[in-house]
Amino acid sequence: MDFVQCRAQILQSLHQRDKQNAQFERFIRQYEQLADQLLHSVAKNNRFVSVHRGSDGNSDELASVRIELADLYKTKALNDQQLINANNRLGEVEHQLRSVQLELAFELKFLKTDLERANAEKRQISEDRQCLLDEHIALQTAYHSMEEKYVKTDQERAELIVRLKELKEKEISLVNEMNEREMQIQHQKLQSQLAEASRPNLALDAKAYEMVTMDGFSDVPSNSSIGCGRERFLSCGDVIPERCSAKFECNEMGEVNDVLFHPNGHCFFTAGMDKKVKMWAMDHDSFCKKAEFAGANQGTTRLDLDMDCRHILASSNDSTVRVWSLEGQRLRFTFTGHSEKVTTARFFNSGRSVVSGSNDRTIKVWDIVKSICQKTLFPASTVADLVSNERGIGCPLISCHFDKSIRFWDFRSGDQPAKFLKLGARVTSLDITSDCRSLLCSARDETLTLIDLRTFATLHIYSAEQYRTSSDFGRAVVSPSDSFVASGSADGHIFVWNLLTTRLEKVLHKGGHDGAAVLSLSWHPGGHSLLSGDKRRGVCLWR
């Protein structure tokens, strides 16, 4: 600080002090005047006293002077008291002034700190805003670059998909050709063995000459009943189908959710979104609708025949299970109680009961005779499929669910599953081998799994590079003689594996479903044909 500023500050302080003392200056001047008057009176009094000593004639004047002196003392005392009061008030005012100055100084310091913080925040916000702006520009540039790369990559992807499809078709053709060659070699060996075995002239029963036709089906009698008879077709060994021998549309709309061969092999049943169950008779490569079972209010999902082949049941999306008689096509039983669509149903307890699974996460057991619900199980997950294992070992009822689990139920042990298995994905369907020793499971991870029902161990896993599970309820089936397993794919192909070796034996696609997802399959009881239903109303017969 230079001299001029210091001098100005001193003068400002002096002026401020003068302003504070100005209100007391009048009292000080009065006090000075009174003090001067008092001194003057004292001097005058002393003079008069000395004169009085010299002259007693001035007593009256002396008395008046004394009275005046007393008045002056009183005035002086009053002024002294006023001066004391003024000094006290001045001290209080100075104290209040210092307090206010301290408060103002503290508040000023706080405001300065707050201002500095606000300025720092403002600078930080400005820096952050600039940084975000720079990042936005960089991201926008990167986005445009990635968009160009995406368009280019998408074009390359489309080209690769076309090439991949071509390569897959070639691979499938090669696999089929190799399998056909092997089948021809095996067929030739079998023919030579049969020729050698047939050389002796044996006396055969007349019934032994009843032959199946070259297409694999016995001729259907013209006067056969609608029920197709109750006789069962005896399998002579499984054969891998080679081609699609017949194809037709069985529904007026929607998917074919299930197909089922009659045990005699003369006819089959279809269920789909047209709310009807239809029975078809086969004559070589032609199909004839023999019966229609109506009554469902929404699409039907699963089919099953009882042991005597007298009744057929169908689960439906209208939360109901219905049972019809085959001979009269009459609706005999209706089971209602589920709160959501029924995804699957099976005859149970030798045909005396029906078991059903639903999207409401329950399994219900129905008594056919009494038409009541005997039991309700709560697996806490959507039921995809059910199978009955009454003739096999272990638990009599098996269910699969959307929570990737398989539950084994034994009603003798209570309402909780006796065994619980976990797979790697949603389980879509179940099928038991004819010897009731193994369980085939289809899952959404594009695999089939064969499980030993005695040890609950995984025996085999079936998969293929091109295989894609068709839906959440797509079915996989085991051939009648337990030689092969088959499953439909989302691209309309049907994959056939060897059950024991897990080898992919055949991929059926030519002249078939034309890219429509295959939802349902059923092996012919003789093992030489396969029936399939797709998502576009189509049914194909493979021989």
DSSP-derived secondary structure for 34-78 = HHHHHHHHHHHHHHHHHHHHH-GGGHHHHHHHHHHHHHHHHHHHH
Please determine, for residue 201, whether its predicted confidence score (pLDDT) is greater than 70: no
Count CB-CB contacts under 10 A for residue 298: 14
Residue 295 predicted with pLDDT over 90 = no
pLDDT of residue 282: 85
pLDDT tens sequence across 468-517? 999 999 999 999 999 999 999 999 999 999 999 999 999 999 888 988 99
Identify the helix (H) or strand (E) that includes residue 126: helix 59-197
Q: How confident is the model at residue 161 (pLDDT cuts 50, 70, 90)?
A: confident
User: For 413-436, what is each residue's pLDDT tens digit?
Assistant: 788 999 999 999 999 999 999 999
> Could you tell me if 292 and 277 are in contact, meaning their C-beta atoms sit under 8 angstroms apart?
yes
The residue among 361, 377, 374 whose CA lies nearest residue 416 is: 377
Is the Cβ–Cβ distance between 507 and 463 less than 8 Å? no
Q: What is the mean pLDDT of the chain?
A: 85
pLDDT confidence of residue 218: 42
